[in-house]
Amino acid sequence: MCNKTRHVFGLVIVLSLLSGCASFSRGVTEAILDRNTEDTRQCWINGREFDGMDRLFERADGSDIARLKILKVHGIGTHTPGYSQRLQNGLIENFGFTAMDETVKTISMIHANYDGNLGTLRIHRYLDPERAREMLFYELTWDPIVEQEKKLLDFDNTAESSARRVPFNHTLKVFSNATLPDALMYNSRFRQPIQLSIGQAICWMLSEKWENLPADGSASCAGKREDYVSKAHATGLAIISHSLGSRISIDALQTLVSQVSKLPNYREISASAQASAVYLYMLSNQLPLLQVGQPLPEIHDQVESYCREDGERYDERFLQQLQVVAFSDPNDLFSYAVTPGYINRHVDSRLCPSVTNVSIQVAPITSILGLQEVANPETAHTEYETDSRVLKMLVSGFGKTHGHADVKQRCEFIEALPSQ
């Protein structure tokens, strides 16, 4: 087989795996691909040691229950409420939760500044056997903001349009129609309502206990930003984002600090929040890609001034730390590593950001007839939340003195030391 034919043949196999094209039978595919039952997927960690969410359980107001709150923010594609159940299942297994509230609280979010549905916030409550720890999982679905606009492409997905396309190309076209518009629309007039949606979700997280959250129906969180920001230090807060959701989450935090910093009592507000840390775990992020053409944050290139104890603006910081952990499969076509230089310049310095990159092969590497290795790019983009190593790092973190033994055995670690 000549090199050109071999490459074309390999591309056909990869694309057939990506699309799930029915014209390639399972039997033929398995005959062509060398099956290897040994898990040889690799993992490399570069950056600072990082904490897992097990460090975030907090007791507040004299409560006997230690609480953790997690916000899930989705990215491109079509999502309906319940899309995060696989992730929730993995987390409750690793945390050891054995009970859950039979009520799933569902809020259809509205706001006076937006004439329409801001999306759905579903809250699950999980407990450990001793009822000593509680996890509230907030699943944000912001799709309703853009779903009507995406219907402009519906005709292109119909059988009438597909009649002029070969089935494989039609599968790819439908996929691109469902995903690419989200990134385009976020950088348009839809950015503000999407930011309002995640702002409402954060408001509900920080301003209300489980008992006070509405069980269902439409509602707007009426808490003032300065009020719920001051409560952040009493609550363990983590955000797990996927794809475009990482850009949305970073922008939401920067918008929050920008707005609160303009209040006359900012020093007082920030003083109460400076003991808090926010953990942002990004599964397949596009921060560098979606930064192209966007302005820099208000305060940038000043992390040392705001975040070191001897820094001249240390008392003006907004958080003690924004811990950013970027998980990327090297074969994920839609994910990018985040360098410390990027974080210093493109994330607001008052958030005191630090970054760790976890380059992890989520998709299995398969050999085609022993001639060329391939990885399914769709799997590489979508299966982070089912990977046992990712789940263990979300829960236990990674470092010399903490983290799961299985992860330490399977991941190479190059530690980045803060500048002296």
Contact 402, 396 (CB under 8 A): yes
DSSP secondary-structure letter at 299? S
Is residue 121 over pLDDT 60? yes
Tens-place pLDDT, residues 197-247: 999 999 999 877 899 899 999 999 976 555 556 555 455 689 999 999 999
Is residue 20 predicted with pLDDT exceeding 50? no
> Which amino acid type is present at position 365?
I
User: Is 17 domain-assigned?
Assistant: no
Q: Model-level pTM?
A: 0.88
pLDDT higher for 156 or 120?
120
Over residues 358-366, mean pLDDT: 93
- Tell me what pLDDT residue 87 has: 98
49 has a pLDDT exceeding 80 = yes
- pLDDT above 80 for 253: yes
Q: Classify residue 387: in a domain, yes or no.
A: yes
Within a domain: 179 = no
pLDDT greater at residue 157 or residue 90: 90
Backbone angle region of 142, left / alpha / beta, with phi > 0 → left and psi within -120 to 50 → alpha: alpha
Cα distance between residue 27 and residue 190, in whole Å: 45
Please give the Cα distance from 173 to 406 (Å, whole number): 40
323 or 234: whose pLDDT is higher? 323
Q: How many domains does the chain contain in total?
A: 1
Average pLDDT score over the chain: 86
Give me the residue label for tokens 């299985």. 406
**Percent of the chain at pLDDT above 70?**
85
Burial class (CB in 10 A: 0-12, 13-18, 19+), 197: buried
For residue 175, name the pLDDT band (cuts at 50, 70, 90): confident
Q: How far apart are the first and last CA of the chain?
A: 57
Q: Which residue has the higher pLDDT, 109 or 155?
A: 109
Decide if 201 contacts 213 (C-beta within 8 A): no
The b/e string for 369-384 (b: 16+ C-beta within 10 A; e otherwise) is eeeeebbbbbbbbbbb
Is residue 196 included in any domain, yes or no?
Answer: yes
What phi and psi values does residue 364 have, to the nearest 5 degrees?
A: -60, 145
pLDDT of residue 36: 55
In a domain, 242, yes or no: yes
* Burial of residue 416, with CB atoms counted within 10 A of its CB: 0-12 exposed, 13-18 middle, 19 or more buried: middle
Residue 33 maps to a domain: no
Query: Is residue 176 included in any domain, yes or no?
Result: no
Q: Are residues 284 and 334 in contact, defined by beta-carbon separation less than 8 angstroms?
A: yes
What is the strand order of the sheet 372-374 is part of?
33-34, 366-368, 372-374
Q: What six digits make up the tokens of 5? A: 């034919």
Domain extent for 343: 40-146+190-415
Q: Is residue 152 part of a domain?
A: no
CB 230 within 8 A of CB 275: no
Please, which pLDDT band fits residue 369 given cuts at 50, 70 and 90?
A: low
Q: How many CB atoms lie within 10 A of CB 34?
A: 12
Q: 371-400 pLDDT, tens per residue?
A: 678 888 889 999 999 999 999 999 999 998
As a whole number of Å, the CA-based R_g of the chain is 22
- What is the reported pLDDT for 18? 47
Dihedral (CA of 213, 219, 222, 228) sign? positive
- What digits encode the pLDDT tens for the residues 73-101? 999 989 999 999 999 999 999 999 999 99
**How far is it, in rounded angstroms, from Cα 394 to Cα 177?**
32
CA torsion, ordered 349, 350, 354, 355, to nearest 10 deg: -70
Identify the pLDDT of residue 14.
45
pLDDT on residue 274: 66
The better pLDDT of the pair 274, 148 is held by 148
- Which amino acid belongs to residue 105? K
Lowest mean pLDDT among 8-12, 144-148, 347-351, 405-409: 8-12
Quote the tokens at residue 194.
């999407």
